[in-house]
Amino acid sequence: MSATWKVMGVCNVTPDSFSDGGTLPTAEAAVAHSLELIEQGAAIIDVGGESTRPGAQPVAGQEELGRVLSVIEGIAAAAPQVQISIDTMKVAVARAALEAGASYVNDVSAFTAEPQMAQLVAEAGCDCCLMHMLGSPQTMQDDPHYDDVVGEVCAFLSERASLAEAAGIKRERIFLDPGIGFGKRLEHNLDLLANLGAVAALGFPVVIGLSRKRFLGELTGAERPDQRVAATVAANVMAFERGASVFRVHDVRATVDGLKLASATLARDGR
């Protein structure tokens, strides 16, 4: 289990994200929302301009840039103490975002969409998150199959981390995400959550992103994403106990409260 943790607040400036698409129609609204998340305890703000929900269609680079750049600039100006992450698979978008004030590249393709991303991150000296995804957002939930989901996800992440290091990215800059909900059925997500220690054992900080996701609704009966906050907090506390250290969420205050309690309690028995 990681002794420290950070919460990454979600700022989606997209019209079609599964939980909050279209709720931040302007850059001003997105910056104001991000500042609220920071006040609630977010140490990182993850800005995304292209939805990666199941079935989402790709967005042109210029459109994605138009959505995120002014938001990143606004957050950087208003809250320079907070790390800004750009959630993108495109090198051009990541480069512009880093120039605008971001210092973290969250690539859900783990540098497979555009392999040049590894070189950009290495040259920038910024942090990066490499995530496992089966296929693409357009196809990932069609019929996901694994013989050993934990072993296959760990093997992929280990290989991508090695590639990142070979490209010149410092080891301490690499974070790994098992990709809960990205090409996984309910049982796959539960297996990964239960065995998250295997991902942590790879030796890199683990990012977990299960906020409000469909599998939580399958378990609880909560049909709307905003009804899955309690399940999100519970799952993140379990992930923390199993070694996750960065928690990507929509509901920052509730998650911070849950992790504070879990951290204080586990510290009592030396963990």
Q: Quickly list DSSP for 16-46.
A: --TTTTTS--SHHHHHHHHHHHHHTT-SEEE
Q: What is the mean pLDDT of residues 65-72?
A: 94
Ordered by start, the domain boundaries in the chain are: 6-267
Strands 174-177 vs 83-87: parallel, antiparallel or unpaired: unpaired
pTM of the prediction? 0.93
What are the Cα distances from residue 32, in Å, to 13, 86, 112, 271?
12, 17, 33, 37
Residue 265 confidence (pLDDT):
94
| Dihedral angle computed from the Cα positions of residues 17, 138, 202 and 164, in that order, rounded to the nearest 10 degrees | -100
d(CA 222, CA 231): 9
Helix (H) or strand (E) holding 85: strand 83-87
Q: How many helices (H) and strands (E) does the chain have?
A: 10, 8
| Candidates 90, 184, 213, 242; catalytic one | 213
pLDDT of residue 22: 53
Residue 33 to residues 28, 60, 74, 143, Cα–Cα distance (Å): 9, 25, 11, 36
pLDDT above 70 for 3: no
Angle among Cα 230, 52, 16 to the nearest 5 degrees reads 80
Is there a catalytic annotation at residue 6? no
Burial class (CB in 10 A: 0-12, 13-18, 19+), 92: middle
Contact yes or no for 241/259 (Cβ under 8 A): no
pLDDT of residue 53: 66
Predicted local confidence at residue 5, as pLDDT: 97
Is residue 147 within 8 Å of residue 101, measured between CB atoms? no
Q: Which conformational region is residue 181 in: left (phi greater than 0), alpha (psi within -120 to 50 degrees), or beta?
A: left
Residue pLDDT, tens place only, 87-136: 999 999 999 999 999 999 999 999 999 999 999 999 999 999 999 998 76
Structure tokens that stand for 67 in this block: 């959505």
pLDDT score for 269: 80
pLDDT tens-digit readout, 172-219: 999 999 999 999 999 999 999 999 999 999 999 999 999 999 999 999
Instruction: Give pLDDT, residue 24.
Output: 74
> Of these residues, 6, 53, 228, 248, which one is catalytic?
248
Q: What would the pLDDT profile of 214-249 be if each residue is shown by its tens digit?
A: 999 999 999 999 999 999 999 999 999 999 999 999
Rounded distance between C-alpha atoms, residue 249 and residue 233, angstroms:
9
CA Rg, the chain, in Å? 17
The pLDDT of residue 119 is 98
> In this predicted structure, what is the pLDDT of residue 116?
98
Q: So what's the pLDDT on residue 15? A: 74
Q: Does domain 6-267 have CATH number 3.20.20.20?
A: yes
Per-residue pLDDT tens for 211-220?
999 999 999 9
- What φ, ψ does residue 247 adopt, rounded to 5°? -120, 110
With a cut of 90, say whether residue 270 has pLDDT above it. no
Residue 171 has which token pair?
Answer: 């080891």
Q: Is 173 known to be catalytic?
A: no
pLDDT in tens, 6-61: 999 999 998 754 445 456 778 899 999 999 999 999 999 999 999 776 666 778 88
